[in-house]
Structure 1
Amino acid sequence: MPPPQSVSHDDAPGEAGESYGAALVRGDHAALPAVIDSLRTIRFSGWIAPPAEGWIVVLGDPGDGVVAAGKRGIVEVAALLAESSGSPGVAVRVRRDRQLAIVAWRGAEEIGRYCSDPSREPGADGDILSEPYGAERAEGFAELLDRPDAAEDLAAVLEEELDIESIFESERLAQVLGLLGLPRWLVAAGALPHDIPTGPRAVDLIRLRGGAVGMAGRARGVAIHRMRRRADPPPILADPPRSHGAGIDPWLF
C-alpha cells in the first residue's frame, strides 16, 4: 500500500510522497548530553529519540531539507555527530519516496555514499543518470555495523532499479534497516510530529527548533524555518554520474 502523502520542504508540484531523514550515531544515555550539545551549537531543528538498541537517532525537520546552520542537511548533521563522538554514524534520507540516500562514517572517516537516483536531487540537470549509485559500498556498510554476512544481500537490494509506479524507496529502506540491524521504525518517521507507528511516541522525543527547546525554540524556529526553506542542503553526490551528451557513447564512433 502506498504511504500517506505529504509534501516536501520545497513544495514542488506533481511529486507527493514521504520525505524524512535521520542521523544515527552509536551511543547510550550517557552519550546523549554530548549529542544534544552538538545539535544546539549548530542550531538544529528536529527531534531526538531516546537511545535504544545502542543507537541515538536524530530526525530532521524537514527531513530532506536544511535542518541546521551552515545549510546543513541531515547528512551533514550525521557527519558532525560521528566525528565529534568518534563513533560509527549513519545518515538515511528519503525524498518523496523516490530517492533513498545512505552515508556512513567511522568517526571522522567516511565509509561510503549511496544514492538510489542521483537525478532526483534538487536542481539536477538532464544529464545526470537515474541508476542507483554506490551499491558497491554495501560491504563497507555491513562491516561497519557488524553485519558482514549481510553484505551480499545488501548489495542486491541497493543495486535494484525499482518500478517507482508500484514500489517506494521506503520499502527498500525497510530491507536495508533489517539487514543492518538498524531501527526499522525509521520508515514511519514521516508521521512526525505525531507518534511514530512502531516507534517512539512524540511525547518521548526531545524537540529542538533552531537548537532551542520549549517556548524559546518555538519563537526561534519560525524565523529560522522561513530562511531555511528557501535553500537546499548539499547534494548527496558532489560529482554525480552523467550520460554522454544525447545518450550516445562517444566510443561507438
Structure 2
Amino acid sequence: MTLPVPGVPGESDQPGGDTYAALLVPASAASRDAVQAALQEFAFTGWLAPPSVGWVVAIAVPGDRAVAAGRRGVLDAGAAIAESLQAPAFALRVLVDRQLVLAAWDGRDELGRYSSDPSREPGADEEVLDQPFGAEHAAAFAAAAGEPDAAEELEAVLAETLDPDSVFESERLARVLGILGMPGWIVASASLPKDVPTGPAAREFVRLGAGAAGASGIVRGWMTARVRSRTTPPPALADPPRADDPGIDPWLL
C-alpha cells in the first residue's frame, strides 16, 4: 500500500498543468546517505529518490510552498543543502507548467537564478516582465553539472520564449535535464505517490515528513503540513525585471 506525503493530495488538482520541485546534488560530490542526513537536519518534506547515475535527487512537496524548517521553499532548501554539504546543488521548480525556475549553488556561493517568466511569480504585479530572465547563468549551471561544453546549448534553451498556450514549461525542463545529464523522469514527479512514469517505482523512494521517515514521518508531516501549505516562500527573483524600470531597454517591452 502506498501512502501519500502527509498533507499533500495524491494527484495534481492544478488547472492547466502540474506544480512540482526538486533538489539535485551530484553523486560525485555527496552520497545519498549524506544528502538524506542533510534533508533530515532541515526537516525536509518530500521524496528521496533511489540511487541514479550521476545524481542524488529529492522531490520537494509541496513544490510551491514551504518544504523545510524555517519556512524554506525549494530554493532556500537548495541553498541550505549546498552550504551544509559544501557541494554543488541545484533547485528547480515548475509552477502550474507555466513557469520554470532554476537555481544553483556551490557551497555558500550562489551561481545564479533563472526564471522563464518572472511575471508568473506569486505576488508579482503587472509591471513585472514575462520574458525569460537569467539565461546568462547557463555557463555556471553547466559547469556545476559537470557539462561545461553544454553551456551554449543550455543558454539557447533557457532564453527561448515559449508560447504558454501550446508549450508547457515541463517540455523546456525536459530539454534542460537532458543537456545537463540529469534524470529525465523529474518532469513526471508530480505523479507521486504513484509510480513515476519512466522513473523509479514509488516504493523505491524514501518518504520524508518534516525530516523523518516511517511512521514518525507521517505524524510530523501532518503536524507541519497545515502551516507549510499556507506559507508562500520568498520570490525566486528578489529584483525581477520590470517594465517601469528606467534602465530597461525599450525593445524588451
Tell me, yes or no, whether TM beats 0.5.
yes
Q: Which runs of 5 or more residues in structure 2 are unaligned?
A: 1-10
Task: Compute the displacement of 1:29 (Å).
Answer: 11
Counterpart Cα distance in 1 of 2:243 and 2:236 = 18
Does residue 7 in structure 1 map to residue 37 in structure 2?
A: no
Q: Which amino acid aligns with 1:115?
A: S
Does residue 159 in structure 1 map to residue 159 in structure 2?
A: yes
CA distance 1:243–1:31, change in 2 (3 Å)? same
- Of 143-152 and 48-57, deviating more is 143-152
Identity of aligned residues (%): 53
1:172-195 Cα distance to aligned partner (Å, 9 max, x none): 000111111111111111111111
Residue of structure 1 equivalent to 2:66: 66
CA distance 1:30–1:21, change in 2 (3 Å)? closer
Counterpart Cα distance in 2 of 1:51 and 1:201 = 12
Partners of 1:28 and 1:52 within 8 A in 2:
no
Q: Which amino acid aligns with 1:237?
A: L
Residue of structure 2 equivalent to 1:191: 191
Q: Which amino acid aligns with 1:197?
A: P
Partner secondary structure for residue 171 of structure 2:
helix
Matches for 1:130-141 after TM superposition, within 5 Å:
130-141=130-141
Alpha carbon RMSD of aligned pairs, Å?
2.0
Partners of 2:29 and 2:87 within 8 A in 1:
no
Partners of 1:24 and 1:56 within 8 A in 2:
yes
Q: Which amino acid aligns with 1:200?
A: P
Partner secondary structure for residue 57 of structure 2:
strand
Residue of structure 1 equivalent to 2:242: 242
Residue of structure 2 equivalent to 1:89: 89
Partners of 2:48 and 2:57 within 8 A in 1:
yes
Q: Which runs of 5 or more residues in structure 1 are unaligned?
A: 9-14
Counterpart Cα distance in 2 of 1:204 and 1:21 = 19
Residue of structure 2 equivalent to 1:12: none
Counterpart Cα distance in 2 of 1:150 and 1:17 = 28
Counterpart Cα distance in 2 of 1:183 and 1:244 = 39
Moved over 3 A (4+): none
- Of 220-229 and 157-166, deviating more is 220-229
1:104-155 Cα distance to aligned partner (Å, 9 max, x none): 1122211111000111111111111111100111111112222222111111
Q: Which amino acid aligns with 2:69?
A: A
- TM-score, structure 1 normalization: 0.88
CA distance 1:249–1:146, change in 2 (3 Å)? closer
Counterpart Cα distance in 2 of 1:151 and 1:159 = 12
Matches for 1:16-165 after TM superposition, within 5 Å:
16-27=16-27, 31-165=31-165
Partner secondary structure for residue 93 of structure 2:
strand
CA distance 1:69–1:147, change in 2 (3 Å)? same
Counterpart Cα distance in 2 of 1:249 and 1:66 = 35
Aligned length: 238
Partner secondary structure for residue 155 of structure 2:
helix
